[in-house]
């Protein structure tokens, strides 16, 4: 295995190589860090690279193996953490000058579990300011570039995580998703990302975002995502919304196919605009579940769909009101789009919020009733392919001061309703840009979404596709 191949190797393969002593953690980590050093001036996926600490941890991992210590499932495997999650001793700046220089005193739960499983933390990956938008740019870290074409949007808010997965910065990358922030980078960067059911991966501290932010993995293979998700998942007392039941053994059950799944397909949720090249690739991918996997897929109407935009455009600015004191003192250092979004929420009253909360709960109930008749729903992951990362919308798309969600109508419904949803690579546009198919499952059926993703991956492999970077 040459150095580049090692950087793109899946965690499932590297774990076995470490245990059999065919590869050392020091060898893997140093090779990945070498690649990061060579490409970071171009891609800008890291908010903080902890190279020295990573090498120390890798040496300790090799020492533990030599002594015969008990090994975790991720022993010696490199992983990155999005800079919306605290990692002890590392900067915790959240893409904004407002928190520049802040250092986290402790790991959050997911990070602690990754460490306990033996993972080597490489550093913190980039995110837009507060994770507020789906575009890979922040005032603090600048543009994070799409590895398929520099200058284009890599997706967000898990920007650096998506780029890291695509560019060979090791196999495992932690992301979070409040309105599509795992699935959008997966779509734009041509990798796999799954937003599990809300509460599957606990949060500590919890965020006041009305239970819409889901933590999950971005990887090059479904098996790696299953491995990483199993490590992070499971209830925790710090998070009262964490799911009580233990996570399934995702890696062990991944190859089992759902029996006669009822699969629905919606090209537009009854209201969403989709670029023709994206729509064509997604339709062909949906057809593959019939032609290549032997399952029936039925195009359906989703009566709840058109109600989503009003809800999303209400709650998104409403929840950023919590930064009111900081915005007032630092407006000139903030993303102008974030300021416009924040200002759009300033007129919202408590009665307004409670009224819309009732409407949201009814909307979520409609989605869950839909899934009484269907096991899975297939849609586009995102309406457009990558566009310039300095813009909120593509040039041919309706322009708005802050509304980037007009091209992400397929993702946020399943944050509101808390369903598991994944973006799987399903092809490239004529200009060579990746496109993702979204697979949505019933609430708590994370295993089913992983299994459907793995079945599609087996029929239409994607992990060998690498972006045209050095």
User: What angle in degrees, to the nearest 10, is found between the helix axes of 276-291 and 446-459?
Assistant: 90
Q: How many helices (H) and strands (E) does the chain have?
A: 16, 15
The pLDDT of residue 470 is 66
> For the segment 347-358, what is each residue's pLDDT rounded down to a tens digit?
999 999 999 999
Residues annotated as catalytic (active site), given as ranges: 82, 157, 181
> For the segment 378-424, what is each residue's pLDDT rounded down to a tens digit?
999 999 999 999 999 999 999 999 999 999 999 999 999 999 999 99
The pLDDT of residue 328 is 77
CB 128 within 8 A of CB 161: no
The pLDDT of residue 97 is 93
d(CA 355, CA 361): 10
pLDDT tens, the chain, 470 aa long: 899 999 999 999 999 999 999 999 999 999 999 999 999 999 999 999 999 999 999 999 999 999 999 999 999 999 999 999 999 999 999 999 999 999 999 999 999 999 999 999 999 999 999 999 999 999 999 999 999 999 999 999 999 999 999 999 999 999 999 999 999 999 999 999 999 999 999 998 888 888 999 999 999 999 999 999 999 999 999 999 999 888 999 999 999 998 889 999 999 999 999 999 999 999 999 999 999 999 999 999 999 999 999 999 999 999 988 888 878 778 889 999 999 999 999 999 999 999 999 999 999 999 999 999 999 999 999 999 999 999 999 999 999 999 999 999 999 999 999 999 999 999 999 999 999 999 999 999 999 999 999 999 999 999 999 999 86
Mention every residue, 6+ apart, whose C-beta is less than 8 A from residue 159. 45, 125, 126, 127, 128, 136, 144, 185
The reported pTM is 0.97
Q: How far is CA 79 from the centre of its chain?
A: 14
- By DSSP bridging, strand 142-143 and strand 137-138 are antiparallel
The gap between the terminal CA atoms of the chain, to the nearest Å, is: 17
Q: How far is CA 443 from CA 243, 258, 447, in A?
A: 11, 16, 11
CB 58 within 8 A of CB 29: yes
The pLDDT of residue 260 is 87
User: What is the enclosing helix (H) or strand (E) of 140?
Assistant: none
The pLDDT of residue 121 is 98
Does residue 339 have a cis bond before it (omega within 30 degrees)? no
Give 3-state DSSP helix, strand, coil % of the chain, rounded to 5. 40, 15, 45
């Amino acid at each position: 295995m040459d150095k580049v191949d090692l950087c793109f190797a899946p965690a499932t393969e590297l774990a076995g190589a470490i245990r059999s002593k065919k590869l050392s953690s020091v060898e893997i980590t140093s090779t990945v860090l070498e690649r990061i050093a060579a490409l970071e001036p171009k891609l800008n996926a890291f908010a903080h690279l902890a190279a020295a600490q990573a090498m120390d941890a890798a040496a300790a991992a090799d020492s533990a193996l030599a002594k015969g210590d008990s090994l975790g499932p991720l022993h010696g495997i490199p992983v990155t953490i999005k800079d919306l999650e605290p990692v002890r001793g590392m900067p915790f700046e959240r893409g904004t000058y407002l928190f520049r220089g802040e250092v986290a005193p402790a790991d959050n739960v997911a990070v602690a579990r990754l460490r306990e499983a033996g993972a080597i933390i490489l550093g913190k990956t980039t995110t837009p300011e507060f994770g507020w938008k789906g575009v890979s740019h922040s005032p603090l870290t600048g543009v994070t570039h799409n590895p398929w074409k520099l200058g284009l949007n890599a997706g967000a808010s898990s920007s650096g995580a998506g780029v890291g997965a695509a560019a060979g910065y090791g196999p495992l990358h932690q992301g979070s998703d409040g309105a599509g922030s795992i699935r959008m980078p997966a779509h734009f960067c041509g990798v796999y990302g799954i937003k599990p059911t809300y509460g599957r991966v606990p949060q500590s501290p919890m965020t006041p975002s009305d239970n819409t932010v889901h933590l999950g993995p971005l990887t090059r293979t479904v098996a790696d995502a299953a491995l990483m998700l199993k490590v992070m998942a499971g209830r925790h007392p710090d998070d009262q919304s964490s799911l009580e039941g233990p996570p399934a053994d995702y890696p062990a059950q991944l190859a089992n196919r759902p029996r006669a799944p009822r699969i629905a397909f919606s090209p537009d949720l009854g209201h969403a605009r989709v670029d023709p090249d994206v729509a064509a690739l997604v339709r062909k991918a949906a057809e593959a579940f019939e032609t290549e996997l032997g399952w029936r897929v039925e195009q359906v109407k989703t009566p709840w769909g058109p109600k989503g935009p009003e809800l999303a455009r209400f709650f998104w600015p409403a929840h950023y009101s919590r930064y009111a004191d900081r915005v007032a003192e630092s407006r000139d250092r903030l993303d102008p789009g974030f300021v416009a979004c924040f200002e759009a929420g300033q007129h919202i009253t408590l009665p307004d919020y409670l009224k819309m909360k009732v409407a949201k709960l009814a909307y979520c109930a409609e989605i869950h009733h839909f899934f009484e008749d269907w096991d899975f729903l297939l849609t586009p992951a995102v309406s457009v392919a990558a566009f310039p990362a300095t813009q909120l919308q593509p040039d041919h798309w309706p322009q708005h001061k802050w509304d980037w969600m007009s091209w992400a109508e397929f993702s946020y419904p399943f944050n509101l309703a808390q369903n598991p949803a994944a973006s799987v690579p399903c092809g490239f546009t004529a200009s060579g840009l990746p496109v993702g198919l979204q697979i949505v499952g019933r609430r708590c059926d994370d295993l089913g979404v992983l299994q459907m993703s793995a079945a599609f991956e087996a029929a239409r492999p994607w992990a060998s596709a690498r972006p045209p970077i050095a």
